[in-house]
Chains A and B, each alone.
Chain A
Amino acid sequence: MNKIFALAGVVIKELYRRKDFYVLFVLTALLTLAAGAVNFFHDEKIVRYVKDICLLLIWISALAIAVVTTARQLPAERETRTIFPLLAKPVSRWQVIVGKFLGCWLATGVALVVFYFFFAAVTGSKEQIWPWGAYLEAVWMQWAMLAIVIAMVLLGSIYFAAPSSTSTITIIVVGGILLLGTHLKVIALQQPEPMQFILTVVYFVLPHLEWYDLRDFVVYDMGLVPVRAVVLATLYAAVWSGIFLLLAWFGFRRKSLNT
């Protein structure tokens, strides 16, 4: 287990050494503050649009950080040939996969906490309320979703040629699921056979990432999601992450590491 945590620690250090997080955080902060500074009809209490914009930026930034950080992990180790001394430690290949996953997931978690503290500070200063329970659920669910995404990217980084293609394909897939996941069954029911059957199968097979988006609950102050549902969704995320990590390990086990 120590080896896995050591690998994860390296990934976390890499996140704060690189500029990605800082650039995205500054961009999010600037856009949110600019949106918050606009005065509509001389009403200082209008706040929901700021929450909406800020949360959207946080979602985009966190997704970008998770995907880009994860996509380059294994290809970079191979390119710089550091994978060979790493595996000679000895660290087994499954430990590399789990260590990289854990590192990327924890690093994304740290970034999420920073983003949400900024969000709470900006919106709380405007409306003078801090619904920490709702924020905690939103962060946790987003982090759980990012676990699935990170595992998916790790799997992709083993099969796709370059980090750029892995990142692009994953972002398209994740974006597609987030936008259409809920509606896929409705779309399927409107199609003729065999399209209806195919879309229905896809609907049941794909990981439902859209469940983890609790932005509406935070923006519209709609209270908390039942804890039982959050626990079940967390288990669902753990299962999907496990499936992707297992597939990644199968691929990595047989992969030639010579570039």
Chain B
Amino acid sequence: MKFSPLCTLAVLLSLAFTLATGLALTADNWSTRAKSDNLFGMLFGDGRKLFANHFFTMADVYFHSGYYPSVFDGANKESEIVETSHGHADTPDDELKEDFLGRPHDWVDAFGRNFRITRHTHLEAHNEREILPWLRLAADLDPQKVETYSVGAYFLREHLGRTDQAEAFLREGLRNNPDSCEILFELGRTYHDGLHDRDRARNVWQLGVKKFLARPADEQKEDKLLFEEIVANLGHLEDEAGNYADAINWLRAAQTVSPSPDALQQQIDALQKKISAKSP
């Protein structure tokens, strides 16, 4: 029996086409990789989280203009961009602690320092924008890393005056992490401090409190400082709005987890004086 080569080719091509149309739909379910929501997910799988952490660290390196401890210098502290986004400012003691280089070990080390960045500085005067590409990449690689969104939005709003971009970035984070109290807290700050929209800030922070209280008890214990930040901000917001009774309730809630309840008590006392002055 003889087969013409052209005829064989045509039959094989028809078979390949028929199988492709039949299998295309089911093939999607064979591999979990096909379900990845973005290009990075498909390329790197779960390894993308390592790259995301690296890029997040790169943002911190840029924030310090290259003055940053390596793995050999025993780098083991929380990223300073995260601390800054929570309102932490370095004290002289902090500055001393962050001098990871110390005294030169020998003449090679001493001479080599001429060619390294040896000053601890932070980006300022709108140069903070330079950390943004790394945060964007970190968010693309690991959309579940909520710090990326809160830190990025903080710098966009507080240092660059880009409230619209901050809100958009947080909304993207919220779509990827619908239960994140951190993102809701930052979104509330964006509405309150950036857009001066008290009502939306109140709604977002109240949703944050609701989400926080829905968490398991051990998670609540771990993140109690976040809870304090949200309720304390709600307290101040109600104080600004003239709702002193509500403000007192929120500050009392903050007192239950705060490391400095006395300071909050002073604020509560001041609010009670306002209520008494208001009542006839």
Residues of A within 8 A of B (CB): 38, 40-43, 45-49, 141, 182-183, 185-187, 189, 203-204, 208, 210-214, 216-217, 219-222, 225-226, 229, 232-233
Contacts and interface: CB of A to CB of B under 8 A. Distances in A.
Interface in B208-228: none
10 contacts: A41-B129, A45-B129, A46-B129, A49-B62, A141-B115, A182-B112, A186-B73, A189-B105, A204-B108, A229-B111
B62 A217 contact: no
Interface stretch (B34-42, B131-139, B176-184, B241-249): B131-139
Given A43-B160, A229-B111, 16 more contacts: A38-B133, A41-B162, A43-B129, A46-B130, A46-B133, A49-B62, A182-B112, A185-B105, A185-B108, A186-B73, A210-B112, A210-B115, A216-B66, A216-B116, A217-B115, A232-B111
Contact of A229 (B65, B108, B115, B136): B115
B270 to A, nearest CB: 40
B72 A211 contact: no
Given A182-B112, A183-B72, A217 B117 contact: yes
A220 B66 contact: yes
Contacts of A186: 72-73, 105
Interface in B47-73: 62, 65-66, 70, 72-73
Contacts of A212: 115
A109 to B, nearest CB: 20
Nearest to A188: B105
Given A48-B62, A216-B116, A187 B133 contact: no
Given A182-B116, A216-B116, A40 B72 contact: no
A183 B112 contact: no
B165 A42 contact: yes
